[in-house]
Structure 1
Amino acid sequence: MTPPQLSFDPRPLTEPVDAASVRAFAAELRSRRTAGMSASTVIGIAVAVIAAVVMIPIFVSVVLALASFGGSPATAAIPLVLILLLLAAVGVMIWLSVRNAQATRYRLDRFARANGMSYEPKIVDPPLPGMIFSLGRARQSTDLIRGTRPRFVEFGNYQYTVQSGKNSTTYRWGYVAVKLDVPLPNIVLDAKGNNGFGSNLPASFQKAQRLSLEGDFDQHFTLYCPAGYERDALYLFTPDIMARFIDNAAQLDVEIVDDWLFLYTQRKVSTLDPATWAWLFGVVGALLTKFDQWARWRDDRLIAENPGATASAAPPNQALPFAPPAGLLTPPPGVAPQGRRLKRGGTWVPIIIVIGFIAFWIVSRII
């Protein structure tokens, strides 16, 4: 079956935009945020106001002091003029940055509308179950493009900050989230094509959960599935589905968790680059028809937990009018607890570094 072709009109990404329309769209976005200004925005405004109140008297005091010691007010004013010029240059750069950001949001909104989708500028702490969405603090998705047909798909940029002592690091990802029909076991495909020194994923998994698949799939991905779910993974990743992932998503890490499929990359997904969107639309379009096969998967372990589960559903408090034939007992959609999350593995890198440092210190003391 030929995969469905998603509507793709890249022209709004690069077409000239009307400045007045950009300003009107920016005003509309500001009006949406008026009722719920974030704490970080309030803190930023407060810091700017306090800095201005504190710094302006200091500048005036410095000029007056230089004038009293240097004699010439014009000479004393030179540092102030230089500082004002510097502040003006910073202000111009900030203005240009804001204007470019507004134009980018306007273009992305027009691009979303042209392709039957919608645009959302930012969501704080998005409620998604993927591995990157529960890490760190200051979590936010930006420039989200969402579609609902033939199924819900969200393209977005994401960032979070991890504190380590006095230092903090901000990690940035691009992601595609696709809603599935039923919950599936937690499966991760670690793409080998985007790894550097080891995996680039923010989580590690126990090696016992690795599963080798047929063909050359293992050359492109390392697949992890919960222990005991190997046959289920083979049911989900048939040769035709493996071929789709190899041909279209070999540079993307993949996670199946609950009733979501996530594609991860350490570059922006929501961008003004038409080539990036053409690639991502092609990836999603190539996978969409294969997701229909996954809707038929059921976890047989739920039968043991719920022996009364059947393929047919009777109204509440009403018995089935017949006894289901033997062998047709089918669990409801869902995943048994042991398959819902992969078991995480520890990393040996910090331990190796500490051991190496101690060994070096001991050797240096002996020598």
Structure 2
Amino acid sequence: MTIPTPAPPTFDARPLVEPVPPGAAHAFVQELKRTGRLPSGSAAAVVFIVFGIVVLLVFGSISLTLITAVLGAMAAAASGTGEAGAAGILAAFLPLLFIGAIVTVLVVVGVRMRRSREERLYRLDRFARANAMSYVPRFDDPGLPGMIFSLGSSRNATDLVRGERPRFVEFGNYAYTTGSGKNRTTHNWGYVAVKLDVPLPNIVLDATSNNSLFGSNLPAAFDKDQRLSLEGDFDRYFDLYCPAGYETDALYLFTPDIMARFIDHAAALDVEIVDDWLFLYSRRQFSTLDPATWAWLFSVVGALLDKFAQWARWRDDRLATQGSVQDAVAAGTPQAAAAGIPSVTPAAQAVPFVAPLESLRPPPGVAPPGRRLRQRVPWPAIIVIAVFALFWILSQAGVFGALVGGLFGG
């Protein structure tokens, strides 16, 4: 009797768009908070409260000043007509009504923002469940080995959607901050993390389609001598960087069929292979309520997954130790026979308990020279920014005005 193989789950985006039952989203968020999966305090709520106070103080005070001045003028004008009492009452209560209106608007906006946030969490959780995955609202400082995960401060991954089979895959949004004060900048990324079978050399595919005027949009720059040109049209879509001495290994990993998969499905994404992880990066959010974005990401990962099995066979020959090879063949040497160890004949090698030749291969792993790419300082971008900064400083100091006046004033 043949047991039918269960069909793989189909992509189901209905939870992202279908109506949410009344109260379900709020109850779900309360459960997240109760179980510690979501912090009780929300950064968005704090920002909204601060924004509301600023609006109330600045806009409200200006508006109240204008209203008070207008009502004062109305009261002065009405003093001779017998309507001064009504104007005085209006002047007293209208500012209070105006403040009440501002507070009401802020409360309504805040409630809608909270409901929108709760529905987002609820929809993403139901979407993950519908596709045999799990949902994690937030994970601070995830500590992944990719290039974006060790930069700046206040690192956090949000709206993580994780799958375990056929291998671990994580979709998420990631943010970190650099600088301080007025120069504080928040950097936002979308990423996909895929667990590989074995550690591989640090390889970066810098997509050419998302580069800017200053070059790559990646937060790291790499030495040009690590740039490897591949056959066909691959160089039109990606700049591939691999550690020096690992060019042959990169060619082994990026066979023509795998290059075609990356071109056809991931040409808009930057790719990093580091340790036993593969990362896909973009400057846009990946974990959203947009079904089209999820359909695209699922198609990218699905197109690549079945090719990763080829990479599991890669080994770094630099890790091979002479001792392990000599020990494996010592039984066939005269010294082994003198020690009373029977030699291994060709016929004996066929028995099932003899170690196969696979045991003579290097162990999984990467030698130190291949674990990380050498980075460089992006001098062209720094020089351009410095020139613009110098131009702005000189213009603010009036140097250009004085120079023009000196040339044409006389």
Same fold, judged at TM 0.5 (above): yes
Q: Decide whether aligned partners of structure 1 residues 107 and 78 sit closer, same or farther in structure 2, where only a CA change above 3 A counts.
A: same
The aligned residue for residue 316 of structure 1 is: none
Given residue 343 of structure 1, which amino acid in structure 2 is its aligned partner?
A: R
The aligned residue for residue 238 of structure 1 is: 255
The aligned residue for residue 307 of structure 1 is: 322
Q: Any conservation in 1 of the 2:37–2:137 contact (CA below 8 Å)? A: no
Using the TM superposition, give the Cα deviation of residue 34 of structure 1 relative to its aligned residue in structure 2, in angstroms.
Answer: 8.2
Alignment of 1:182 onto 2:198: yes
More displaced 10-residue stretch of structure 1: 193-202 or 322-331: 322-331
Q: Decide whether aligned partners of structure 1 residues 309 and 91 sit closer, same or farther in structure 2, where only a CA change above 3 A counts.
A: farther
2 CA distance for matches of 1:272 and 1:340? 36
The aligned residue for residue 332 of structure 2 is: none
Q: Any conservation in 2 of the 1:145–1:156 contact (CA below 8 Å)? A: yes
Q: Decide whether aligned partners of structure 1 residues 25 and 75 sit closer, same or farther in structure 2, where only a CA change above 3 A counts.
A: same
More displaced 10-residue stretch of structure 1: 86-95 or 27-36: 27-36
Using the TM superposition, give the Cα deviation of residue 328 of structure 1 relative to its aligned residue in structure 2, in angstroms.
Answer: 6.8
1 CA distance for matches of 2:103 and 2:225? 58
Tell me the TM-score normalised to structure 2 length: 0.74
Given residue 117 of structure 2, which amino acid in structure 1 is its aligned partner?
A: A
Alignment of 1:350 onto 2:382: yes
Using the TM superposition, give the Cα deviation of residue 255 of structure 1 relative to its aligned residue in structure 2, in angstroms.
Answer: 0.3
Using the TM superposition, give the Cα deviation of residue 73 of structure 1 relative to its aligned residue in structure 2, in angstroms.
Answer: 5.7
Using the TM superposition, give the Cα deviation of residue 33 of structure 1 relative to its aligned residue in structure 2, in angstroms.
Answer: 2.7
Using the TM superposition, give the Cα deviation of residue 358 of structure 1 relative to its aligned residue in structure 2, in angstroms.
Answer: 5.9
The aligned residue for residue 336 of structure 1 is: 367
Using the TM superposition, give the Cα deviation of residue 84 of structure 1 relative to its aligned residue in structure 2, in angstroms.
Answer: 2.7
Alignment of 1:19 onto 2:34: no
Structure 1, unpaired ranges of 5+: 314-319
Q: Any conservation in 2 of the 1:310–1:332 contact (CA below 8 Å)? A: no
Q: Decide whether aligned partners of structure 1 residues 254 and 24 sit closer, same or farther in structure 2, where only a CA change above 3 A counts.
A: same
Q: Any conservation in 2 of the 1:137–1:161 contact (CA below 8 Å)? A: yes
Tell me the TM-score normalised to structure 1 length: 0.82
Q: Any conservation in 1 of the 2:196–2:277 contact (CA below 8 Å)? A: yes
1 CA distance for matches of 2:197 and 2:359? 21
User: Which of 1 and 2 has greater Rg?
Assistant: 2
More displaced 10-residue stretch of structure 1: 18-27 or 338-347: 18-27
Alignment of 1:141 onto 2:172: no
Using the TM superposition, give the Cα deviation of residue 95 of structure 1 relative to its aligned residue in structure 2, in angstroms.
Answer: 1.1
Indicate the SS of the match to 2:376.
coil
Given residue 204 of structure 1, which amino acid in structure 2 is its aligned partner?
A: A
The aligned residue for residue 106 of structure 1 is: 122
Given residue 198 of structure 2, which amino acid in structure 1 is its aligned partner?
A: V
Q: Any conservation in 1 of the 2:9–2:132 contact (CA below 8 Å)? A: no
Q: Any conservation in 1 of the 2:270–2:280 contact (CA below 8 Å)? A: yes
Deviations 1:192-224 (A, max 9, x none): 112222211111111111000000000000001
Q: Any conservation in 2 of the 1:311–1:329 contact (CA below 8 Å)? A: no
Using the TM superposition, give the Cα deviation of residue 86 of structure 1 relative to its aligned residue in structure 2, in angstroms.
Answer: 1.4
Aligned identity (percent) is 59
Using the TM superposition, give the Cα deviation of residue 79 of structure 1 relative to its aligned residue in structure 2, in angstroms.
Answer: 2.8
The aligned residue for residue 317 of structure 1 is: none
Indicate the SS of the match to 1:183.
strand
Given residue 21 of structure 1, which amino acid in structure 2 is its aligned partner?
A: A
